[in-house]
A and B are shown apart, each in its own frame.
Chain A
Amino acid sequence: MTPLLSVQGITKHYGTHIGCADVSFDLYPGEVMGIVGESGSGKSTLLNCMAGHLAPDAGRVMFDTRKPSGDDAAGHDTYGPRDTVTMSEPERRMLSRTDWAFVHQHARDGLRMGVSAGGNVGERLMAVGARHYASIRDQATDWLGRVEIDAGRIDDRPTTFSGGMQQRLQIARNLVTGPRLVFMDEPTGGLDVSVQARLLDLLRGLVRDMGLSAIIVTHDLAVVRLLADRIMVMKSGRVVESGLTDQVLDDPQHAYSQLLVSSVLQV
């Protein structure tokens, strides 16, 4: 089986500081990978390198690109695993609005705050060529329903939404084009626990239903326990431990993983 995403030796330095160093892993279709670690451990740097927001100093990010459908298929024999680091920018940006999705920690980084909820969801559709207003609106309504936002709020701006609703809207906006890989940067950060629980429930349902692969960066071990199949523990830019989620969380081997697991407050 071809991995959907194969990360090989990703390294990023900020001057003399290490952002992340020599990170490699494979992600298979339908799999959810959690990346945990303290602040400054290089989680977000790694995620941004993989999603094409940052250019890594070394390493490759191989993504299993889809065979173009219909008329586009002619003259394209470059599908299959391709290195997204060296891929041309138009191709990478095309990927990032079709096969990829990126959920930011702060919803306002990932939403257009001056545009209505429907417009936010429809943007990716229009970016890939949808030009029929009624069908764009139908899909937007459908997606608002799937993320549990009342269809009556479709013409309201995200500024009038609560934090949890904004985060759900951001997820709808990202998933509307049916991506195969979702990058999430602290998707539950800044939300209170009951809203977090609903959001996690929703995410788990969507990931399972759509067969999504996802990479979730978080410092919240409960999030990875619920969502992730496998996790990597990072410290000082390096992966110190990786394995199945339950295995790592229940029987941490590395001293830092043990510290991380034992730091969680028990109520």
Chain B
Amino acid sequence: MTDQAYNFAYLDEQTKRMIRRAILKGVAIPGYQVPFASREMPMPYGWGTGGVQVSAAVLTPDDTLKVIDQGADDTTNAVSIRSFFERTAGVATTTATRDATVIQTRHRIPEEPLTEGQILVYQVPIPEPLRFLEPRESETRKMHSLEEYGLMHVKLYEDISRHGHIATSYAYPVKVEGRYVMDPSPIPKFDNPKLSGTPAIQLFGAGREQRIYALPPYTQAVSLDFDDHPFTPSKADHPCGLCAATDSYLDEVITDDQGGRMFVCSDTDYCTARQAAGHKGKDAA
């Protein structure tokens, strides 16, 4: 039941209007970071204030919301954001990827392919891919506007010189439609190929840094690499312990203090659906 003390989806209409304008601009210029006047939200920075504001701005009363945190529907962050919108917007919620119209995510893209009409909202801690190489905001903006992205390759060069391969495994930079270099938020690089050509709209919100950016449907996003060190999506080399999936991104779970461990799908919805369909891994009870 909607708490009548709040406007629909917590934010007031003027704020949502402002955020929607930023989103529209972001969609019009894929990969470009649009500044917006981020509001104080009733949760600490780092818990998804950017994603929550974007979700609040795109939610309608008819929407069905799914919230995941590292792929899971049942962790603290996911549960509290889901109940936040149940209370302030009264929208239906689900854990099934295919039933959701708006999916807010932290650090994962669902395994099940997204479809047209769905919106995927990312929580972004640091939107600027060049930040750790160039601390000056004035300079990074200029580099984006002049397409000076050589520095991004310096980071990859450093990886190879130190580790023998590109060791960046999450927040792996992509170039959007041959123009802007974008930080896809800290998703594992396993998910990078799913960014490109997706039928769903992908929106990125960074609350503390006050930036929104977007990938419209069917947008090309190419992971940066070297000719002789091509990009490779990587995952733990195991099948899922519960559903035996070999094509999903896995979490390593320590099960005792004798070195026992198991690998399970990080996408809980994907894993439970497979188990319900009769797939059984070696660690399944």
Inter-chain contact B148/A119, CB cutoff 8 Å:
no
Q: Quick one: which of B153-169 are within 8 Å of A by CB?
A: 153-154, 157-158, 160-162
A36–chain B nearest beta-carbon distance, Å: 32
* Residue B226 at the chain A interface, CB threshold 8 Å: yes
Inter-chain contact A155/B162, CB cutoff 8 Å:
yes
Give A89 to B141 CA distance when docked, in angstroms: 14
A residues less than 8 Å from B194 (CB atoms)? none
Inter-chain contact B150/A123, CB cutoff 8 Å:
yes
Known: A127-B148, A127-B151. A133 touches B157 (CB 8 A): yes
Residues 68-91 of B, flagged 1 when their CB comes within 8 A of A and 0 if not, give 000000000000000000000000
Inter-chain contact A119/B150, CB cutoff 8 Å:
no
Inter-chain contact A132/B227, CB cutoff 8 Å:
yes
Q: Quick one: which of A108-123 are within 8 Å of B by CB?
A: 112, 115-116, 118-119, 122-123
* Residue B62 at the chain A interface, CB threshold 8 Å: no
* Residue B5 at the chain A interface, CB threshold 8 Å: no
A202–chain B nearest beta-carbon distance, Å: 25
Q: Which residue of B lies closest to A118 (CB)?
A: B161
Give A137 to B161 CA distance when docked, in angstroms: 9
B residues less than 8 Å from A126 (CB atoms)? 150-151, 153-154, 157
Give A126 to B227 CA distance when docked, in angstroms: 12
Inter-chain contact B150/A133, CB cutoff 8 Å:
no
Inter-chain contact A133/B146, CB cutoff 8 Å:
no
Q: Determine the main DSSP class of A at the interface with B.
A: helix
* Residue B229 at the chain A interface, CB threshold 8 Å: yes
* Residue B228 at the chain A interface, CB threshold 8 Å: yes
Residues 215-248 of B, flagged 1 when their CB comes within 8 A of A and 0 if not, give 0000000000011110000000000000000000
Number of interface residues of B (CB under 8 A): 16
A125–chain B nearest beta-carbon distance, Å: 8
Give A154 to B160 CA distance when docked, in angstroms: 13
* Residue A93 at the chain B interface, CB threshold 8 Å: yes
B residues less than 8 Å from A116 (CB atoms)? 158, 161-162
Inter-chain contact A119/B158, CB cutoff 8 Å:
yes
Most buried by A among B151, B154, B227, B229: B154
CB-contact partner of A133 in B148, B162, B226, under 8 A: B226
Known: A89-B146, A133-B160, A137-B161. A119 touches B154 (CB 8 A): yes
B7–chain A nearest beta-carbon distance, Å: 44
Residues 148-179 of A, flagged 1 when their CB comes within 8 A of B and 0 if not, give 00000011000000000000000000000000
Inter-chain contact B228/A123, CB cutoff 8 Å:
no
A227–chain B nearest beta-carbon distance, Å: 30
* Residue A248 at the chain B interface, CB threshold 8 Å: no
Q: Which residue of B lies closest to A155 (CB)?
A: B161
CB-contact partner of A115 in B150, B158, B229, under 8 A: B158
CB-contact partner of B150 in A127, A134, A137, A155, under 8 A: A127
Q: Quick one: which of B113-149 are within 8 Å of A by CB?
A: 133, 146, 148
Inter-chain contact A93/B146, CB cutoff 8 Å:
yes
A residues less than 8 Å from B228 (CB atoms)? 132-134
Inter-chain contact B161/A119, CB cutoff 8 Å:
yes
Q: Which residue of B lies closest to A132 (CB)?
A: B227
Give A122 to B153 CA distance when docked, in angstroms: 9
Could you list 23 examples of A-B contacts with CB < 8 Å?
A89-B146, A93-B146, A115-B133, A115-B154, A115-B158, A116-B158, A119-B157, A122-B157, A123-B151, A124-B150, A126-B154, A126-B157, A127-B150, A127-B151, A128-B150, A131-B226, A132-B226, A132-B227, A133-B160, A133-B226, A134-B228, A137-B161, A154-B161
Q: Which chain B residues have a beta carbon within 8 Å of chain A's beta carbons?
A: 133, 146, 148, 150-151, 153-154, 157-158, 160-162, 226-229
Which 10 pairs between the two chains have the least Cβ-Cβ distance? A127-B150, A126-B150, A126-B153, A133-B226, A132-B227, A90-B146, A155-B161, A119-B154, A123-B154, A119-B158
